[in-house]
Amino acid sequence: MSNKLSDSVPTDREVVLGILNNSEDALNKLYIGYFPMILQFIVNNNGDEDDAKDVYQEAIIILYNKIKSGDFELSSKLKTYIYSVCRRIWLKKLAQQSKKTNNVSDFEDIVSVEVDVEYHEEKDLQFEKMGSALQNLGEPCKTIIQDFYINNLSMQDICEKFGYTNTDNAKTQKYKCLQRLKKLFFQS
């Protein structure tokens, strides 16, 4: 059978516990384990490898956020969940490209995931907005903000990294950057 998955697929429980404990290994295993299934689905339904990668990563993010948010219940197998999410996302994409979406070749069972996918779409919109806002912010603001808010560097570290004479200067700089970024983010 061509759609046989590799042997390294972790159990659902392993994956959920691993993600809750920020285990990189669990995520890697999960990613590698189910990718062929999605690749098969996409390439058999008017897509290519890059489409498969995008759709699959989105699905993993959805799953990841769902597990992290704590309200995740295993009502189906992870495999089914991932497949359903990918299917939903891909069908939407096909519809947007106005390709025909009838005659979908299915390879797995599916469960209803509309709510999760729509919730994710909102989040994704925010992600895009933040991405473009940061892009428009320009250097060095972008790096300062990223270092402070994402990489959790202290003001002291930032001060040294960018060669500010004191932390107050750095704080002022960060404040200005933040104001601009907020403006970009909320206005876009």
The phi, psi pair for 44, rounded to 5°, reads -90, 0
Least Å distance between CB 95 and other proteins?
21
Q: Which stretch binds other proteins (CB under 8 A): 9-17, 36-44, 72-80, 157-165?
A: 36-44
**Binding residue for other proteins (CB under 8 A) from 26, 60, 85, 117?**
60
Q: Which stretch binds other proteins (CB under 8 A): 9-17, 43-51, 69-77, 79-87?
A: 43-51
Question: Is residue 171 at the binding interface for other proteins, with CB under 8 A as the rule?
Answer: yes
Of 19, 55, 48, nearest in space to 34 by CA: 55
Cis peptide, bond prior to residue 140, ω within 30 of zero: yes
Q: Which stretch binds other proteins (CB under 8 A): 34-42, 83-91, 93-101, 110-118?
A: 34-42
Question: Is residue 43 at the binding interface for other proteins, with CB under 8 A as the rule?
Answer: yes
Point out which residues bind other proteins (CB under 8 A).
Answer: 2-3, 24, 27-28, 31-32, 35-36, 39-40, 43-44, 48-49, 52-53, 57, 60-61, 64, 105, 123, 126-127, 129-131, 134, 145-146, 149-151, 171-172, 175, 178, 182, 185-186
